[in-house]
Structure 1
Amino acid sequence: MCDVKTPRSSRIGEDAVVRAAYGDVDAFRELYDAYAADVFRYGMLQTDSREVAEDILQETMIAIWRGRERLSSVANVCSWVMAIARNKTIDYIRAKPPTVSMSDFGDASEPGAAGVSSQAGRPAGTLEDAIPDRVDLAAALIKLDLEKRELLYMVFYMDMSYNEVASVLGVPAGTVKSRMYFARRQLQEILERGCRSCQSLGRRDADCGDASHQVVNP
């Protein structure tokens, strides 16, 4: 997750964006390093497949390189990158509906996709890594539909504003705010049900971790 003090849209300098638009390979690598982890984790969250997430990352970056001239005119690089990643993910989902499971949660190994920069740190390989330190929260997220998952990921874990998310989804910011209300509410209900289940099994509050079962407004 990015530092909340550093908006995603400014993770790469304007000069690097312009140079990348003109085909500067080093500048493009800066862009790759800034967004590769987020794109991979988004693909992982939506498909629960490391292999597919690697493909989505690769296809997204290829599309960005091929359309790099647009970088000099896009209003928000983060929103543009994530919109491309979302479209690639939708293409996969339409071709093959995802089957969400918990099978990868315990595997902390990193993806082996070629080209993932070692300098910036390779993207985390599991949903547990995408949602740091909260296995219960990761499990709750995959119970939501894909629309709610991507909203919560972009807002909570990428620190994107409603306007940035709206640009990715192609909807008004007010629509994003409304959808987030229902997404937070449903996630809270799932977490609370999990907490009650823990208590019914005789687990202590500390074991349940119910203090984390609070969905804080961004």
Structure 2
Amino acid sequence: MAFLKLLLSTIACMAILVSLAYATDPSQLQDFCVATSDPTKAGLDVPANTNNRLGSGVTLVNPMNLAGLNTLGISVARLDFAPYGLISPHTHPRATEVFTVMEGTIYVGFVTSNQANGGNKLFTKVLNKGDVFVFPQGLIHFQLNIGKTPAVAFSGLSSQNPGVVTIPNAVFGSDPLISVDVLSKAFQLDVGLVKYLQSKFSTGS
């Protein structure tokens, strides 16, 4: 009996260790990228252009412009916002994002998926200078400058190629366009409104 208890206890401990091992990040492929002798990138002190319809701009640092990041599984971005500028709802399919406000007041949020009741819960927060927020991998999220002055934030991403899917652009601006019948039924919108939205987001608009 004592042996059986010891055996079950040992198996339970092994199961915990295995689950902990799978919960950690995978190891990087190598110590550093051998393709470069200069693991530096200048220019993140320069604001991105926010003179666009959303009033925001992103400067991404990844292996395409900093070879030293190759194989290390991380990237970083500077996010600039004009007053009331928005970074549209989007997802990063391959990365969790840690968002830090450097200047301004930014309203942020993300939407959960796969809730037990089938719903989608929205988590939001108003962030000020020095505040940090996390957007879990793959979840739809957004950032909005709610201040009257420009805002700046930096994001760390847990992939060298996080990817980005901007929801309005993908849904209403694909090439070729998604069928109006599909979108009108999916979003319960009038056909005319769907066509209007497609005209706003389609290539060249």
Q: Which structure has the highest strand share of the two?
A: 2
The structure with the largest alpha-carbon Rg is 2
TM-score, normalising length: structure 2: 0.27
Q: Which structure has the highest helix share of the two?
A: 1
